[in-house]
Chain A
């Protein structure tokens, strides 16, 4: 058994899974994606966007499709919506998902959408996974078993919660799922995707979400990762924004052995506004790798990216954001702010804000700082009689404060705070503090 062949085990198992799938009506689009994926191979640390996250161990393991399973646990975000849609191992749990009883929302399974209108669906899949950095999204296109198509036609009455649950009794299960959200002109929605599960097995989850905003549409989107410490997530989020549309996006990573979260945003028409927030909590041996790429393809577009990274134990947190302002645009404005807080000498935070400006009339700012708890702040609290552990806890929580206060969905914010507090030292203190 040679080392070279060993490193291909994952790749070959994905190819085998693809060959074993019954052909569906978008088989050509899938085959095309699979061929490209096989040609590119799995990313290695030699690839620019993967230099901090090694997939060596993962690449040497074969994976099989996760078996269909019943939902095993409920989401702690369930409070945000009366009728959550649950997706277990990539499949909507009740077959066809129930419409939310909201005339503004139409929800169907991706399987149903493929059967109904394969041509338009196939055409939609291509935009994500085009870049080499999005190889997992490419693989997702070839292999997604099912997922959801959501259409928002007006102002949604309530937030929509999509619970992605990965459950397997095996150590080599892989889940490939996709969500496509279309928000019509002027329509408004809040969508929360919660990724959870694991049941103690080394599950691989490869998910993709496409968020398409028509002119004047407005969306607040959350993706929250809180799986157990054996689950690996690859998550690709694509946001396409039309004229005057507004997107607020929150990526919250509180779990998993490894989470690689891509966000690729394209501000395609004048006046589009994009705010993204990343709250990354590393502890234990967790690896979090957040890669944002925002393209300003039109005039008067605005993007703001805010990241707060916390790393304890021997965790490693990467926040990599790239902004491209295309030639021929005017009045684009972009801001990237990333702050990291190291809580242990063996933890690591890497941040890289990058700007590529090909236009003249732009306003761009970026800043990245990483450090430890401020000794002056700590001393101030100690000098008031606060014990050391509490002082540290308060300062850690304070560090995340402005990101949490940016969440405009109170139920989600509250639940995320609760979960976050559970991940931090001094949970009891923080519960009483809040």
Chain B
């Protein structure tokens, strides 16, 4: 599904990604954990196609295609979804409109007709109910005046509507209370399937109690330092990151 080799990138002239290697196969859930400022969000945004981040080396294939050669909108239509760590507020752009336009962009690429307005409304209302969101969010501006938790739910809602092949969720769990965390986990789990992959960037073990990962990676200083199964997450929780960084890793 996703294969990253020796990916290097600069942000504002500073080298942030320093040779990332990662392979995610169809049906897998991966967790990326690591200290603040280590470049996790940079990686997620580079994968989603943020232009002002400069790629200086390496390659990424997505479903066999050269991901880095595609503009951001093409990546989304090809089935890549980024749940932002800090979803931006866009006053004046209607939330429901964005959902519909995003879905139609994807359908167009797949050679399908635009979604019927009535059908769309039914779909969206069902998904909102599933996410415990009030329908009034539809008529508001994108993320406008949403609380932190509401923004995260809105990201998951978009993900559920778009049904991506690969979802990158950047700290979708941070800042959520336990109930919201459960709702988000429910949304993520509902997307799990043999033909989909999920990459969770997270700070805490907490989410992983609800969404069980196949692989866990430790990300530090712009690269993946260590990979393992879900027990690695527990070890990190207990021991922090320092033991890895002090070069005691074989």
**Within the complex, which residue of A382, A391, A397 is in contact with B92, where a contact is CB–CB below 8 Å?**
A397
Q: Mark B43-65, 1 if CB is under 8 A from A, else 0.
A: 00100111110000000000000
Question: Is B235 among interface residues, defined by CB-CB distance under 8 A?
Answer: no
Kindly list chain B residues whose C-beta atoms are within 8 Å of the C-beta of A398: 90-93, 141
Kindly list chain A residues whose C-beta atoms are within 8 Å of the C-beta of B52: 375
Question: Is A356 among interface residues, defined by CB-CB distance under 8 A?
Answer: no
Q: Is the CB of B87 within 8 A of A383?
A: no
Q: Is the CB of B105 within 8 A of A387?
A: yes
Question: Is A402 among interface residues, defined by CB-CB distance under 8 A?
Answer: yes
Q: Is the CB of A382 within 8 A of B90?
A: no
What would be 12 A-B contacts, judged by CB atoms less than 8 Å apart? A380-B87, A382-B49, A382-B71, A382-B76, A383-B82, A385-B77, A385-B106, A385-B109, A385-B162, A387-B105, A397-B92, A400-B92
Q: Is the CB of B101 within 8 A of A386?
A: yes
Q: Mark A363-385, 1 if CB is under 8 A from B, else 0.
A: 00000000000111101111111
Q: Mark A77-97, 1 if CB is under 8 A from B, else 0.
A: 000000000000000000000
Q: Is the CB of A382 within 8 A of B105?
A: no
Whose C-beta in chain A lies nearest to the C-beta of B51? A379
Q: Is the CB of A384 within 8 A of B102?
A: yes
Q: Is the CB of B92 within 8 A of A399?
A: yes
Number of interface residues of A (CB under 8 A): 25
Given contacts A385-B106, A386-B102, A433-B97, 6 further A-B contacts (CB under 8 A): A376-B88, A381-B90, A386-B73, A386-B98, A388-B71, A390-B101
Query: Assuming A375-B52, A386-B73, A386-B101, is B91 touching A380 (CB within 8 A)?
Result: no
In the bound complex, how far is the Cα of B109 from the Cα of A400, in angstroms?
31
Q: How far is the CB of B107 from chain A (nearest CB, A)?
A: 10
Question: Is B4 among interface residues, defined by CB-CB distance under 8 A?
Answer: no
Question: Is A394 among interface residues, defined by CB-CB distance under 8 A?
Answer: yes
Q: State the B residues within 8 Å of A (CB).
A: 45, 48-52, 71-73, 75-77, 81-82, 84, 87-88, 90-94, 97-98, 101-102, 105-106, 109, 141-142, 158, 162
Tell me the A282-318 residues at the B interface (CB within 8 Å): none
Question: Is A42 among interface residues, defined by CB-CB distance under 8 A?
Answer: no
Q: How far is the CB of B142 from chain A (nearest CB, A)?
A: 8
Question: Is A32 among interface residues, defined by CB-CB distance under 8 A?
Answer: no
Kindly list chain B residues whose C-beta atoms are within 8 Å of the C-beta of A381: 90, 93, 98
Q: Is the CB of B105 within 8 A of A401?
A: no
Query: Assuming A386-B101, A387-B73, is B92 touching A380 (CB within 8 A)?
Result: no
Q: Is the CB of A384 within 8 A of B88?
A: no
Q: How far is the CB of A383 from chain B (nearest CB, A)?
A: 5
Name the residue in B51, B101, B105, B109 with the highest tally of chain A Cβ atoms < 10 Å from its Cβ.
Answer: B101
Q: Which 8 A-B pairs have the closest CB atoms?
A: A398-B92, A401-B92, A385-B105, A385-B76, A384-B102, A382-B72, A376-B88, A385-B77
Q: Is the CB of B88 within 8 A of A388?
A: no
In the bound complex, how far is the Cα of B162 from the Cα of A248, in angstroms?
44
In the bound complex, how far is the Cα of B48 from the Cα of A374, in angstroms?
17
Kindly list chain B residues whose C-beta atoms are within 8 Å of the C-beta of A384: 76, 98, 101-102, 105, 158, 162
Q: How far is the CB of B78 from chain A (nearest CB, A)?
A: 9
Kindly list chain A residues whose C-beta atoms are within 8 Å of the C-beta of B49: 379, 382-383
Whose C-beta in chain B lies nearest to the C-beta of A384? B102
In the bound complex, how far is the Cα of B185 from the Cα of A71, in angstroms?
67
Q: How far is the CB of A257 from chain B (nearest CB, A)?
A: 29
Kindly list chain A residues whose C-beta atoms are within 8 Å of the C-beta of B102: 384-386
In the bound complex, how far is the Cα of B76 from the Cα of A374, in angstroms?
20
Question: Is A395 among interface residues, defined by CB-CB distance under 8 A?
Answer: yes
Q: Is the CB of A386 within 8 A of B105?
A: yes
Whose C-beta in chain B lies nearest to the C-beta of A401? B92
In the bound complex, how far is the Cα of B121 from the Cα of A226, in angstroms?
38
Kindly list chain B residues whose C-beta atoms are within 8 Å of the C-beta of A377: 88, 90, 93
Name the residue in A382, A383, A385, A395 with the highest tally of chain B Cβ atoms < 10 Å from its Cβ.
Answer: A385
Whose C-beta in chain B lies nearest to the C-beta of A396? B92
Whose C-beta in chain B lies nearest to the C-beta of A380? B88
Query: Assuming A390-B101, A398-B141, is B73 touching A385 (CB within 8 A)?
Result: yes
Kindly list chain A residues whose C-beta atoms are within 8 Å of the C-beta of B88: 374, 376-377, 380
Kindly list chain A residues whose C-beta atoms are within 8 Å of the C-beta of B75: 383
**Within the complex, which residue of A375, A380, A388, A390 is in contact with B90, where a contact is CB–CB below 8 Å?**
A380
Kindly list chain A residues whose C-beta atoms are within 8 Å of the C-beta of B94: 433
Name the residue in A376, A382, A383 with the highest tally of chain B Cβ atoms < 10 Å from its Cβ.
Answer: A383
In the bound complex, how far is the Cα of B81 from the Cα of A390, in angstroms?
19
Kindly list chain B residues whose C-beta atoms are within 8 Å of the C-beta of A374: 88
Query: Assuming A383-B82, A386-B101, is B73 touching A402 (CB within 8 A)?
Result: no
Q: Is the CB of B93 within 8 A of A395?
A: yes
Whose C-beta in chain A lies nearest to the C-beta of B144? A398
In the bound complex, how far is the Cα of B224 from the Cα of A5, in angstroms?
77
In the bound complex, how far is the Cα of B126 from the Cα of A51, in angstroms?
58
Whose C-beta in chain A lies nearest to the C-beta of B83? A383
Q: Is the CB of A382 within 8 A of B84?
A: no
Q: Is the CB of A382 within 8 A of B93?
A: no
Q: How far is the CB of B143 from chain A (nearest CB, A)?
A: 9
In the bound complex, how far is the Cα of B70 from the Cα of A383, in angstroms?
12
Q: Is the CB of A383 within 8 A of B90?
A: no
Query: Assuming A390-B101, A398-B141, is B92 touching A383 (CB within 8 A)?
Result: no
Query: Assuming A375-B52, A390-B101, A433-B97, is B72 touching A383 (CB within 8 A)?
Result: yes
In the bound complex, how far is the Cα of B109 from the Cα of A390, in angstroms?
16
Whose C-beta in chain B lies nearest to the C-beta of A374? B88
Q: Is the CB of A379 within 8 A of B91?
A: no
Query: Assuming A382-B49, A398-B141, is B92 touching A388 (CB within 8 A)?
Result: no
Q: How far is the CB of A54 from chain B (nearest CB, A)?
A: 34
Query: Assuming A384-B158, A385-B102, is B93 touching A379 (CB within 8 A)?
Result: no
In the bound complex, how far is the Cα of B101 from the Cα of A395, in angstroms?
14
